[in-house]
Amino acid sequence: AQSVTQLDSHVSVSEGTPVLLRCNYSSSYSPSLFWYVQHPNKGLQLLLKYTSAATLVKGINGFEAEFKKSETSFHLTKPSAHMSDAAEYFCVVSDRGDTNAGKSTFGDGTTLTVKP
């Protein structure tokens, strides 16, 4: 079984300040973890993914995330927020021990607001 919890439904930061979006997961097997971004009325775009290689994963647009097995966390960070980062962010877990391709679990999302 797998689950994912995004700890904040809304995060607000000022432009130029750091971003932290928190995600905790549970997984019966070694998980694959993903972060996606969704702008209003758009599809989801993959930001980054962890699939058992380096625990610090760098993604697009300056985002990165660190896989911490001991804390079962995969928090998303960015050193300096830009206005264009305002969007909905989803954390996703997929059990790599699960051979069923359809079994990804999405978090409920975190809305990031960036203030000028």
Partner 1 sequence: DGGITQSPKYLFRKEGQNVTLSCEQNLNHDAMYWYRQDPGQGLRLIYYSQIVNDFQKGDIAEGYSVSREKKESFPLTVTSAQKNPTAFYLCASSAGRVAQYFGPGTRLTVL
Binding site for partner 1 (CB under 8 A): 9, 32, 34, 36, 41-46, 49, 51, 90, 94, 96, 99-102, 104, 106-109
Q: What stretch of H or E contains 87?
A: strand 87-95
What are the DSSP calls for 100-113, one per residue? -TT-EEE---EEEE
Shortest spacing between CB 46 and partner 1, in angstroms = 5
Shortest spacing between CB 16 and partner 1, in angstroms = 28
Closer to partner 1 by Cβ: residue 15 or 86: 86
Closer to partner 1 by Cβ: residue 15 or 104: 104
Structure tokens, 4: 């994912």
Sign of CA dihedral 97, 102, 105, 111: positive
Task: Supply φ then ψ for residue 84, to 5 degrees.
Answer: -70, -5
Closer to partner 1 by Cβ: residue 77 or 106: 106
Shortest spacing between CB 14 and partner 1, in angstroms = 24
Distance CA 80, CA 16 (A): 4
Q: Side chain identity at 77, as an amino acid letter?
A: T
Shortest spacing between CB 36 and partner 1, in angstroms = 8
Closer to partner 1 by Cβ: residue 22 or 49: 49
